[in-house]
Amino acid sequence: MAKAIALTPGRVTQLFGYGQETTGSTIRPETLGRIADAFVRDGVCCEVVWLHLHFDEFADRTAEANASAPAQQESDLSDALAAGWVFTEATAPPDLVELRLHPPRAGNELPDSYYADATLLFGTAAHDYHPEDGEDPRTIAIALRQALLAIGSDGAGANYRVGRGGFCV
Amino acid sequence: MGADTPSDVRRISQPYSKLSRLCELAAACGVA
């Protein structure tokens, strides 16, 4: 995503991270245009002006425009699943990494199967460092150099597998 | 559809939720 809109992952975190959910973000029109274009290329109807709307109206517009998408066709079951879906947040330090699990969607390949989409976002965290040796305090940037992602099963009846086209870097 | 760039720069409310919603729609289209 970050590559598609010509931003660094850290910048994406600054603009779209959970920390901006309350305050909002001021985003350049060119960036908004690239975002809309990227999603349109992926088959998602999206217009820049919708991003300026309140979320409820934004959700209505995107849902209406993408009504033929598979997720909408199975929306009733997904809504039922989402009703029992609890979002929890654990971020330390802020902006370094975020993992969000989206509400599960019913699968159509195997009976009683569900898709659980996840968004994993790597960014850059700013940490105020106060040296004990008398040096001036400074802000240091913390970022990951390597990350290992593993998907496993607990072996107690739950089976997981990565869906087709399941990774995008 | 979708490629216009308004000239005004305004604050985008709930950017996290909006991007997440678009990502969910993209995932539904088979894009990870």
pLDDT in tens, A103-129: 777 777 777 777 777 778 888 888 888
Contacts of A21 in chain B (CB under 8 A): 14-17
Least confident of A11-15, A81-85, A140-144, B2-6: B2-6
pLDDT at site A58: 92
Name the residue among A51, A117, A163 with its Cβ closest to that of B18.
Answer: A51
The angle formed by the CA atoms of residues A101, A12 and A21, to the nearest 5 degrees, is 60
Percent of chain A, pLDDT > 70? 72
Cis peptide before A93 (omega within 30 of 0): yes
Instruction: Decide if A81 touches B, using CB distance below 8 A.
Output: no
A-chain residues within 8 Å CB-CB of B16?
A: 16-18, 20-21
Token couple for A11: 């910048």
- What's the confidence (pLDDT) of residue B3? 40
Mutate to test the interface with B, among A34, A51, A74 (most CBs of B within 10 A): A51
Say whether pLDDT at A78 is over 80: no
Least confident of A65-69, A141-145, A150-154, B24-28: A150-154
Checking if the pLDDT of A90 tops 80, the result is no
Read off the pLDDT of residues A34-53 as tens digits, 9 standing for 90 and up.
888 888 888 888 888 899 89
A75: nearest CA partner in chain B: B28
**Which pLDDT score, from 0 to 100, does residue A76 have?**
56
